[in-house]
Amino acid sequence: YFSSEPHFAGSKRNNDLARYIAEKWRKYGFDDVKMPKYNVLMNSPRKVWESKVEIHRNDREKTGKISGVVGRLRKSAVNDKILREDEKKGKDTPIFLAQSPNGVVEGEVVYADYGNKESFLHLQAVGVSVKNRIVLMRIGKMYRGNKVLNAASHGASAAIIYNDPAEYAPEGTGNNTFPHSWWLPDSGAQRGAARNATGLGDPLTPGFPSVDGIYREVLNNNGSSPIPAIVLSYGDAQEILRRMKGLKAPKSWQGGLQLTYYIGPGFKDKSLTLRVDVNSSLEFKTIYNVIGQIRGAKEPDRYVLLGNHRDAWVFGAADPVSGTAVLMELSRGLGELIKKGWRPRRTIMLCSWDAEEIGAVGSTEWVEENTQILQNRAVAYLNIDQAVNGNFSLNVDASPLLKHLALQLTQEICDPTVPDTCKSMYEVMLERDITKHVNGRAVCNDLSFGSDYGAFYHFLGIPCADWSYIFGGRYNIRRAYPVYHSVHDTFYWMKTFVDPEFQTHLAVTKFAGAFLLKLSDSELLPLNTTSYGEFLKSKAVSLEKNATLRAHNISTVSFSRAVRRFAKVSRQFERGKLNEKPENYRILNDQMMQVEKAFIQTVEENDWKLSRHVIHGLNIDDLYDNLYFPRVHYAMIKAKKTGDWKLVEKEISLLTYAITSTANVLKPI
């Protein structure tokens, strides 16, 4: 039902789905269901004056005139090619990169591999400039918006990104791709946001909700990429790459197309140029979240939240509908418990977010609107974005406080991808995912900035977890499954190639339900502070052994002492919990709830209003990656430019103060 039609943020279909969810939750017996709305600035493609990429021939020198278009790249320049009857409703959903400025750019093209910093350093090393040129980059390894930003910072006039078959069709193109397999066809393309990594939410109201009466900042491309950017299919990219000249690209830059990749600049035929024409509109649209509440019986003033975003680029069977399916089945199950007289100990809040795809807008605006309540009452936020996008293994990212519980739960649930046995999800993670091995144990990753947990975690310091059953194995892509953000992310793709009996969806739902109920019903919260102490000790080395800090005589002795003290106090706290009387559990719970929040810096602002966590932060070089001790990191970058290392000393002292203060939170009361 949810993936039967396109439902982009702010669309009538997406708003209808919000009302459908609200109606279901009321029917299930939820105590309160609200649909908070926000008026936000959104970027949409123009259907009349469409974006396009063309190869032009300029014969002015020979004939005195421009002869015009040689090749219009049509495989994906406007829409994905419709390959099945059930995709026809997606034919009017143009391919575009949100938050790209409009513009027409014509000139030479340079190929820059994945568009990371190393790519542009190599181009400089071989003497190829991208200044005033169009840069072609393949998708992968980092957030697409950072690729565009990297190109712009080196003087590029426009950017093109595409899915290379090396990652998205490694078993060959043609009949080895969708609809015959799960691989991306040569006409498919990945939509997405290209906003720069300055934060989340409506760029006109950073730190505040987009509601009536709130001041909007002047529109000045806040959050937008600095240059026009567009996405193409690899079928279209091939038309560009096969014409290119210049140095042969390094072996590691060679992709999966049946041709030799050249760096450029320009085409072998000197009369040819590339033309990029980006056209989109900016308009205010009303978006709707849905918030359903089941009031707690014993601690109604303590909230455990679980959410999934509802909006999709097109059909979105994996992203986000697999998560929506889990959310709805979980809510149905809770409704059955309510009918039998059950009540959670703490209040449960289920959330359906709007406009995640353009920058986690719905969740961020709601967090901003409810900051004072959430920072005092929220126990944890659990996020399900793509519940299932493959059949490799479960992947969990979490706050250190929640990692122990998450891994414990994976040991209690059978993994359905192993037939005729009951191997746990934990065992399958350990067997299949070598990135999760530490001393023979499976581990959780740390949270980045890439979904609806962003504002909860980085702005308010609410412990969060995010999980999905991922695509992976021997392939070079994991969470970005082959048809990610394309018209082919359909119910057919999911049922035919990923989860035919939807048993993986069921297992993820069981995991979500167990996680939710452990946090909402346990008399003593299952948060592990010792895990945070061990985490801090492992990450502190990056500052303690930093040669640059030593070279500038910046001491980390007090910082190291604070980390060791926190680790010691957390161990004492966990031991004390074992012998505490139940009547004192509320005190212990409140102490544990304050740990993550004590790492939020509210006195000294930085350049990113929604990134206030001093331990985990926004990586402006890659929105999909996480960064430790972010304020110190960025202070060092500034100091290398300005020579003022006093700011670094100050930030290390603020970090030390935060860790010391958090340790004090855990001292016996």
Integer Cα distance of 7 and 16 in angstroms? 9
Catalytic residue, chosen from 613, 622, 649, 651, is 613
Among 194, 192, 186, CA closest to 223: 194
601: its two tokens: 């810096």
69: its two tokens: 């278009």
**What is the bridge-based pairing of β-strands 437-438 and 378-383?**
unpaired
Q: How many CB atoms lie within 10 A of CB 669?
A: 9
Integer Cα distance of 403 and 199 in angstroms? 25
For residue 176, which amino acid is it? Answer: N
Residue 356: active-site member: yes
Q: Which residues are CB-contacts of 417 (< 8 A; sequence separation ≥ 6)? A: 391, 393, 428, 504
Among 95, 100, 101, CA closest to 8: 95
Among 657, 649, 660, CA closest to 555: 649
Phi, psi (5° rounding) for residue 308? -150, 145
Instruction: End-to-end CA distance of the chain: give it in Å, rounded.
Output: 52
Q: Which residues are CB-contacts of 582 (< 8 A; sequence separation ≥ 6)? A: 523, 524
Residue 44 near residue 63 (C-beta atoms within 8 A): no
Give SS3 for 379. strand
Catalytic residue, chosen from 555, 580, 644, 653, is 555
Catalytic residue, chosen from 5, 86, 544, 590, is 590
Integer Cα distance of 328 and 18 in angstroms? 12
CA angle, corner 507, sides to 503 and 510, nearest 5?
140
Q: How many CB atoms lie within 10 A of CB 243?
A: 20
CA angle, corner 38, sides to 35 and 39, nearest 5?
145
Phi, psi (5° rounding) for residue 251? -55, -40
Catalytic residue, chosen from 277, 311, 329, 356, is 356
**What is the bridge-based pairing of β-strands 134-138 and 97-98?**
unpaired
SS3 percent helix, strand, coil of the chain, rounded to 5, is 35, 20, 45
Q: Which residues are CB-contacts of 7 (< 8 A; sequence separation ≥ 6)? A: 13, 14, 17, 310, 311, 312, 316
Q: Which residues are CB-contacts of 438 (< 8 A; sequence separation ≥ 6)? A: none
Residue 202: active-site member: no
Q: Which residues are CB-contacts of 168 (< 8 A; sequence separation ≥ 6)? A: 139, 183, 184, 234, 477, 482
Integer Cα distance of 82 and 10 in angstroms? 24
Radius of gyration of the chain (CA): 25
Integer Cα distance of 236 and 246 in angstroms? 20
Q: How many CB atoms lie within 10 A of CB 230?
A: 29
Prior bond of 265 cis (ω within 30°): yes
Among 611, 44, 35, CA closest to 284: 44
Q: Which residues are catalytic?
A: 356, 555, 590, 613
